[in-house]
Structure 1
Amino acid sequence: MVLKLIRRKDSPNWWIRGTIRGISVYETSGTAERDAAEIILTIRAKEVLDESIFGKKLTVTFDSAAESYLQSGGSPRFLKLLRQYFGSTPLRGLRQNDLDAAGTNLFPDVAPETRNRQCYTPFIAVWNHAVGNDWADVRQWRRPRKAKGTTRRQVSKRSGSRPVNYERAARFIAEMSPAPAMVMTVLFYTGMRPVELLTLERDDVDLEGRWLIIRSSKTGEPRGVPMHEFVVPLFNALVQRDDGNPHVFRTFKGESYTIMAGSGGQLSNGIVGARKRLATKGVDITDVSPYTARHSVSTQLVINGIHPHIKDQILGHAFTDMSRHYTAVPQAHLIEAINTLSVPQEWRRMRWWDDPLSWSRRHVKWGKG
């Protein structure tokens, strides 16, 4: 028998039911969207098959371990965000740096003891429960500690390594020249990697379907990316260019952006310029850069309650055999998820929205005349 999707009268969601190699499954997919449920069904079937062959230690995910922990009487306190963040990540793949990243992304501006209580403690409780069930190996997890002494050590916050809220991002991007501001805007409303966006070509933009096609991502696999409805008019304007250069996003000179490993390339000037202009106004925003957008999209989708499988599909983390089938076909559930990202009014008021194509050719230093 195989796994299949079924409906229940008492639930709006699709349920997964069936047996694979003697292992029975009867559980909710967590979504009422058929396309989303099909993806989850495929991933779940592979997990059950792997479990039947290699045992649960290879296949148990953080979310399933957390569910078992709660059913055994564990405390639900502070566990919801962690379940959304780690979701279907297998326990066998989690390391100290993953736990540290969760603490930083979910609780960026709290004291070490607060991060320890709200992130590390519930995570370790779930892990120890999994160890007791022989689903994971014993591990000594390091917890965050308050710096010793009366003087607190200054911790460097590297730009791009943490999420920011969208109001803060809008305040920063409003100071950027139009061309790089457009790039940053799309990064914050697609979750794409900067290199993916800067190499995007006109033929890979499906305006009607609100869909972008990445021919070759960081993993080497093609993938599809939903675009937020907010940026559709921007794409509609920029793809009108037909001057022999296939790239959608260009510098104000009309040239393709230079891709540089380990640096921001030609976006760096726009970032530095915005920081300086804000500084003259007494505003200190130095934690916004191209990669900030990807972290912000990921974190905000978790906060918005988007299913981990859907979030991973948007960000290009979930590369399964089924992923290839969804590369060029717009997926309604992914578009619906990306549209949960809010748009501050300051972002909507940026002057270049009235004619993006014309403004993209101008090198404007706002407030400088």
Structure 2
Amino acid sequence: MTTIQHHIHSQKEANIPFRTYIAKFLEGLQAKNTSNETISGYKKDLEMINRFLEERYNGIVMLHDIKTQDLEDYLNGLSRERKYQPASVNRHLCTMRSFYNFAIKRDWTNVHAAAPIDPLKAPTKERTYIDEKEYHELVQAIDHPTIKTIVQFLFYTGLRIAECLNLTLDDVDIDNLNIHVKHGKGDKERNVPISAKLSPILTEYKDIIRPEISSKRFFALEKTGKVSDVYVNYILHKTTAKLGWKKVITCHILRHSFASNLVKKDVHVVHIQKLLGHSDLKTTSRYVHSNYDQLAKAVAVL
């Protein structure tokens, strides 16, 4: 492309609204097999940013109109006016950076308006998890047999709830003690072994609890032929309320509990990473807990 052609191309690009580029960016993510949850999060963030900019400029905003100061003001508004936590503000910044990285690669702009902005310092919070004693107490209190099995399954496999509920009958090989996760995060595949504790639970579920219906889903209810994550979390909420627990237990907390209990039993973090399906070891390291007793034992070694 000559300098003149590039100039004409740049002028054409400059006349395209920011909202159009948002749609193109989301299409690009879909083409890369990015998970629906990630795309949905980016879409929500970018639409909020676009609304802020259109209100500020009183009309449709072009990509080249956006300045670093605009983005800083937007993030400050999230923090001060909307009272967003630092981690949530940083997520919006991360979305902006991902968009601009993509936009520069596609030659939509040569200005990375989000690059000069520093993330806020976010305090690291210890994540909630349940130990084996709490797990048994929770399971005994669940009345719904299918949801009880799902909770047991999540605690002993560490699967994401979407991965769990999308499993087919063919994916769960009880005879060979293997779960084949076909559509993990980023559409990655992995195999997760079925433990000796989980195997009889799954056999009982398949032979006795699971309704005889045409659905291919491993976890299925008679009415719908599937189970929703909302329903599983609802039963968890109802059960913890019945037990009088102050801890908020969700499907994701069960995944975290799986990882945390493996760490307590000295399983190597790389093995935990593979079981959880994390592409980056940094993500797995967030699941590593150190309670006071463990810290006391650690210093006693010296």
Superposition TM-score tier, normalisation by shorter sequence:
0.3 to 0.5
**Which TM-score applies when normalising by structure 1?**
0.39
**Which TM-score applies when normalising by structure 2?**
0.47
Give 1 or 2 for the bigger CA radius of gyration: 2
Q: Which structure carries more relative contact order (alpha carbon 8 Å, separation 6+)?
A: 1
